[in-house]
Amino acid sequence: MATLRLGDKAPDFTADSSMGTINLYDYLGDGWGILFSHPADFTPVCTTELGTAAKFKDEFDKRNVKMLALSVDGADSHIEWIKDINEVENTTVNFPIIADEDKKVSGLYDMIHPNADSNLTVRSVFIIGPDKTIKLILTYPASTGRNFYELLRVIDSLQLTAYHKVATPANWKQGEEVVVSPAIPTEEAKEMFSKGVKEVKPYLRMTPDPTA
């Protein structure tokens, strides 16, 4: 399959997991989703990531985002690994880990990069919108753990910009000023954004976060 790009439909799948059989679309329902892959079970960086993800579950829940992890090992292996994760990270893994021994899902999502490793998945992240399209793709090498604060930040941006005609500037955090969409004329923007519009340049207009 060709490489997935932003705006593509997220491939549906049914697979075994640490919590039983999962169908992606049924699992996500009408909400958002985040799918992240791990090179293999019982690996050190992944252990810290999955423990961190479990601790962040309440934050993802607030944003109506369901978490789903994946590794190329089997469900029984996942269940044993989860015991280690819970112990080491002092948490409870509270979301499914997909078992992808046949690499079916890895293939659908282009998670195996032969120049990195021909068997193990790289650290991929896919954020999926309620319309089941891919909203964000991140790919990390196996040696670099993910920043879950950044994942929450981009979800905040994606959700804000999905429903308001704004964009978010560099290093933006929820509640900070946002950029008015360049497609909107300034006079129209002033009518649209009741909190005010600040014109920095004709092409760069700022307005307070409309949801704050």
What pLDDT, in 10s, does the model give residues 165-185?
999 999 999 999 999 999 999
Measured between alpha carbons, how far is 48 from 99 in angstroms, rounded to an integer? 19
Would you say residue 31 lies in a domain?
yes
* pLDDT number for residue 5: 92
Alpha-carbon distance 185 to 189, whole Å?
6
Average pLDDT score, the chain: 92
Task: Let me know if residue 156 belongs to a domain.
Answer: no
Q: Which amino acid is at 63?
A: R
Provide, rounded to the nearest whole percent, the portion of the chain with pLDDT above 70: 94
Q: What share of the chain in percent tops pLDDT 90?
A: 80
Same domain, 111 and 25: yes
CATH code for the domain in which residue 109 is found: 3.40.30.10
In a domain, 6, yes or no: no
1 belongs to a structural domain: no
- Predicted local confidence at residue 113, as pLDDT: 56
CATH number at residue 180: 3.30.1020.10
The reply to whether 184 falls in a domain is yes
Q: Rounded distance, CA 163 to CA 59, Å? A: 20
Range of the domain at 27: 14-146
Average pLDDT over residues 25-40: 93
Average pLDDT, integer, range 83-87: 96
Shared domain check, 83 and 29: yes
Strand 198-201 and strand 204-207: the pairing is antiparallel
Mean pLDDT of 86-104: 94
Last residue of a domain, one of 96, 111, 146: 146
Check residue 119 and give its pLDDT: 52
Catalytic residue of the set 28, 46, 111, 134: 46
Q: Tell whether 151 is covered by a domain.
A: no
Residue 140: its pLDDT value, please? 86
| For range 68-83, the mean pLDDT | 94
Higher local confidence (pLDDT), 38 or 175: 175
With beta carbons less than 8 A apart as the criterion, state whether 62 and 100 touch.
no
In a domain, 155, yes or no: no
Residues 75 and 44 in one domain: yes
- 4 within some domain: no
Is the pLDDT at 21 greater than 50? The verdict is yes
pLDDT at 30 over 80: yes
Q: Is 122 a catalytic residue?
A: no
Provide the number of structural domains found in the chain. 2
d(CA 6, CA 136): 6
Task: Measure Cα distances from 165 to 7, 44, 149, 174, 185 in Å.
Answer: 18, 42, 24, 16, 12
